[in-house]
Amino acid sequence: MILDDLYGEVIIDHSKRPRNCRPMADANHRADGHNQLCGDKLRLYLKLEGDRVTDASFEGSGCAISTAAASLMTESLKGKTKEESLTLLDVFHEQLTTDTPVRRDLGKLVVFCGVRDYPARVKCATLAWHTLKSALVTQRVTTDIVTTELVPTEMVTTE
C-alpha cells in the first residue's frame, strides 16, 4: 500500500540514497544539466579510459525521478564504451517517449518505463541522460577539472 507503482521501491531507494552522488576530482568529462520545469540541477562527471567509462558520478538536486535516474544511470554506465552508452541513451529515451514494448534487457532502468504515462515528467527522467550526451561529446582535460572555474562546462537544458 505504501509503495506506488511509478514511485516503486527502486526509484524511492535511489532518490533517497543516490549512488555515485559525489564530485569526481579526476574526471575527464563533465557537463551540467538543468530542467527548468522542476528546477532540477545536475553536474555529471565521467572518467573515460580509452573509449570505456571507468567511473561515473553526479552532484545536484532535483525531484525523486531525476535523482533516481542519475543514480541508476551512473551505475549502468560503468564498463560501457562510449558507443554503448549512447546506444543505451537512445533505447532509454525511446522507452520513455514511445509506445514500444518494454525491453527486457534494460535491467533496473526498466523502472522508469512508467514515466511514459506522465509526459510532463519525461524531462525529469531524461535529464541525466541528456547531460551524458553532452559530457561524452565534450572532452575535458583531467588536470583542469579541479579548478572548475577555468573550464566552461556544457550546459544542457531539457527545455
Partner 1 sequence: MIAADRLAPASLDITKIREDFPVLRQSVRGKSLVYLDSAPTAQKPYAVIDAVRRFHEVDCANIHRGVHELSQRSTAAYEKTRSTAVRYFNASSESELIFVRGTTEAINLVAHSWGRMNVKSGDEIIISALEHHSNIVPWQMLCEEQGAVLRFIPIDDRGDLILEAYDKLLNARTRMVAVSHVSNALGTINPVRPIIEMAHAMGALVLIDGAQAVPHMSVDVRALDADFYAFSGHKLFGPTGVGMLYGKAELLESMRPYQGGGDMIKTVTLEKTTYNDLPYKFEAGTPNIAGGIGLGAAFDYVSDVGLDAVAAYENELLVYGTELLEQIPGLRIIGTAREKASVLSFVMEGIHPHDIGTVLDRMGIAVRTGHHCAQPVMDRFGIPATTRASLAFYNTPAELDRLAAGLQKIAEMFA
Binding interface with partner 1 (CB under 8 A)? 1-4, 6-7, 12, 15-16, 37-39, 62-65, 118, 121, 124
Beta carbon nearer to partner 1, 13 or 154: 13
**CA separation for the pair 98, 80 (Å, rounded):** 25
Beta carbon nearer to partner 1, 130 or 140: 130
Residue 66 near residue 59, CB atoms below 8 Å: no
Q: How far is the CB of 59 from partner 1 (least distance, A)?
A: 17
Q: How far is the CB of 11 from partner 1 (least distance, A)?
A: 10
Beta carbon nearer to partner 1, 121 or 130: 121
Q: How far is the CB of 121 from partner 1 (least distance, A)?
A: 6
Beta carbon nearer to partner 1, 12 or 106: 12
The sheet carrying 40-49 orders its strands as 52-61, 40-49, 29-35, 154-157
Residue 32, CA distances (Å) to 10, 40, 42, 99, 151 in order: 25, 11, 6, 29, 12
Residue 55 near residue 24, CB atoms below 8 Å: yes
